[in-house]
Amino acid sequence: MESNRQKKIAGVLQKDLADVLQKAARDGGLQNVLISVTKVNVTVDLSIAKVYLSIFPVDQGPKLLEGINSNAPLIKHELAQRVKNQMRKMPALKFFIDDSLEYIDNIEQSLKGDDNPIENPDLLTKRKKS
């Protein structure tokens, strides 16, 4: 269970990270890409923050995630500048694609169509645990 401190830090990081990533995408010439931070989980010792990103269009996700991970030190520095008055130590950032919206969309599409996953559960792709 997350402590209030973990939740507070996650909230601060989530808000500022969204700004940092969207600005980086615009500066990199990606005007038609939307990056949102769907969730941030901070470890108990506050040393690692797992950041879950929703990227639209979805097909840009893997390529953008690779770019974000390779620029993680720069993103961490930019974020540290923004939150320096609220946090003493900046956690390491680990980025992941949040595929939950896509997963929900697949379920909705399946329920509308003939391939109903309730009748045939093999139709739904299994989700990876992160």
In this structure, what DSSP letter does residue 123 have? Answer: G
For position 34, which CATH number holds?
A: 3.30.300.20
Please report whether residue 13 resides in a domain: yes
Q: In this predicted structure, what is the pLDDT of residue 52?
A: 94
Quick check: is 125 in a domain?
no
For 100, the domain range is 4-119
Two structure tokens written together for 14: 């989530």
52 lies in some domain: yes
pLDDT band at 80 (very low <50, low <70, confident <90, very high): very high
Q: Is residue 94 part of a domain?
A: yes
Query: What's this model's pTM, rounded to 2 decimal places?
Result: 0.76
The answer to whether position 126 is within a domain reads no
DSSP 8-state symbol, 71: T
Whether the predicted pLDDT of 6 surpasses 70: yes
Helix axes 72-83, 61-70, angle to 10 degrees: 70
pLDDT tens digits along 82-116: 888 888 889 999 999 987 777 777 777 777 776 66
Number of folded domains that form the chain: 1
Q: What Rg do the C-alpha atoms of the chain give, in angstroms?
A: 17
Specify the pLDDT at position 17.
Answer: 93
**46 inside domain:** yes
In a domain, 11, yes or no: yes
What would you measure as the largest C-alpha separation in the chain, in angstroms?
55
Residues 14-52: tens digit of each pLDDT: 999 989 988 888 887 777 888 889 999 999 999 999 999
